Amino acid sequence: MDAIRILIVDDEKVIRDGVERALAGKDYVITKAESGERGIEMIRTAGCDILLLDLMMPGIDGFAVLSWVKENQPEIEVIVITGFATVSKAVSAMKQGAFDFVGKPFTPDYIRIVVGKAVGKLRLQAEAEQLREERTLSLAAINQEQSRLKTVFGCMVEAVIITDREGVVVHHNPAAINILEIQTDPVVGKPLAASIRDETAVEMVFEAIDGSQVVTREFAPGSISRRYLRAHCSPVRSSGGGILGSVTVFEDISTHKEIDRMKSDFVAMVAHELKAPLASIEQMIYALQVDCKYEALHSCNALHKRMIVRTRDLLQLIENLLNLSKLESGTVIFRLEPVQGHEILADIIDIVTPQVQSKGLKLEYKPCPHDWWINVDYDHLRTAFLNIISNAVKYTPEGGRIEIATSLAGGQACLVVRDSGIGIGKDDLPHIFDRFFRVKGKATRHITGSGLGLALVKSVVEAHNGYIDVQSEPGVGTAFSLHFPLAEVDAAAMEKMAAVE
């Protein structure tokens, strides 16, 4: 089979380039298109084997491109790219014929795995086509064909079991032993019930044979495997139309079920986080309405301030949810421009200074001696920087110290925010960028937060081709390091920007 041709269609350059880097080094011919219209044009002129397709694009969206491909060039394997918040749309795309989907943000390893599966399918199809052509060859060629078919069958990642009309296993592939965790040996020549001790699975086979129809079932972990499986059982017919037996394919869908569980947890967590501040505000308002005796002994301003704080917490949570959802779904439009690093940091330090002073903290800013520029969306990066520095203030006890330092090296700008706060334990450290994760303990009991801030920071930093690192020790403090590629701003552009300012 010739080199696999891969076309990446996404309206975001960072996604196109990221996918290309992830697939670099493989024997792939990679091309890219910035829109659905351009993608269709390139398929018409040059064609492709695998299409990595963003669903959410202006103009012709991913669904329209998928529909065109399935109508005009159905042999192309389509992998859709979508955000976590729009996973239901990815499922809809798969029902329309997409091979698989990749959620944003993705890792290079996951991209390579999904593309590898599509390449494997294409090669199996090519092998199968070649085997069909060889059926007209001599007896020696037929024997060779059977050997190849056995090889292809043995390489399938799904578990396959073939039975006769009585439910006796006549053949299976190696994956069946692993996925179904079969302990009996041998399996062939014995009833299916001897190897799979689940009545539903056995009944499914006889239902397909007796009813002469395809039967689909799902099996939860603990039934026939520790994995979540989806099974498709089809009757096998002879050339005369009689039923000879059945073929059952078991597919591991544990990942898809985990995504569904995460969605449910996400909704439950959001409902909880929204309900708590709203309930608090409601109780405070009620206290004012009934002229609560306790509150009457205190200033109304104190009560109003508490209401404002809780309301702002709620608004910040909603804002973080919206921003994180947009980032993950790929619908954020970044307005990139060269921004001076000292300028954005000076703005943030001005914002947090009152809180720093109220806690008696010492804030030290150590800027690098040179001006530096990064090509970013000012508002989104300002939010990320503000989250990191505000966290340092929030988790540093009164009288503590916060240090903000910048440096330049290897074409990268580095921002380090170091505090003398409560620190993070080694068990919690790997999870601090997870959505809704918060370190629990006596020291954090009275510190409010939704657990979305750092997840948002990581998404924003990676969307700007940067990366974030963290080091921490309980009782000593925490240091966050944010790295960004420096922008190439010539002297004339700098002078022009300075004149505008």
- The 10s digit of each residue's pLDDT in 282-318 is 666 666 655 555 555 555 556 666 666 566 666 666 6
d(CA 483, CA 413): 6
Instruction: Find, among 175, 335, 160, 183, the residue nearest to 236 by Cα.
Output: 160
d(CA 392, CA 388): 6
Q: Would the pTM count as exceeding 0.85?
A: no
Q: Which residue has the tokens 């940091």?
A: 345
Phi/psi at 417 (5° precision): -115, 110
d(CA 308, CA 462): 33
In order, the DSSP letters of 53-113 are EESS-SSS-HHHHHHHHHHH-TTSEEEEEEEGGGHHHHHHHHHTT--EEEEES--HHHHHH
pLDDT tens track for 408-440: 988 899 999 999 988 888 888 888 887 667 676
Please count the other Cβ atoms lying within 10 Å of the Cβ belonging to residue 464.
21
Query: What angle in degrees, to the nearest 10, is found between the helix axes of 341-358 and 378-394?
Result: 30
| pLDDT for 135 | 55
Please report, in tens digits, the pLDDT of each residue of the chain (501 residues total).
Answer: 678 899 999 988 888 888 888 888 788 899 999 998 998 999 999 989 999 988 888 888 888 999 999 899 888 999 988 875 566 777 888 888 888 888 777 788 888 888 888 888 888 888 877 776 655 544 454 455 556 666 666 677 788 888 888 888 888 888 888 888 887 777 888 888 888 878 888 899 899 888 888 888 888 888 888 888 888 898 888 777 788 888 888 888 888 777 766 765 665 566 566 666 666 776 666 666 555 555 555 555 566 666 665 666 666 666 666 665 555 555 556 678 888 888 889 888 888 888 888 888 999 999 998 888 998 888 878 888 888 898 898 889 888 999 999 999 888 999 999 999 888 888 888 888 876 676 766 656 566 555 667 888 888 888 888 899 999 988 889 999 999 999 875 434 444 444 444
Tokens representing 164?
Answer: 């006769």
Max Cα–Cα distance, the chain, nearest Å: 102
Domains of the chain: 4-129 (3.40.50.2300), 156-252 (3.30.450.20), 262-331 (1.10.287.130), 333-501 (3.30.565.10)
d(CA 325, CA 355): 29
DSSP label at 487? Answer: P
Phi/psi at 355 (5° precision): -70, -35
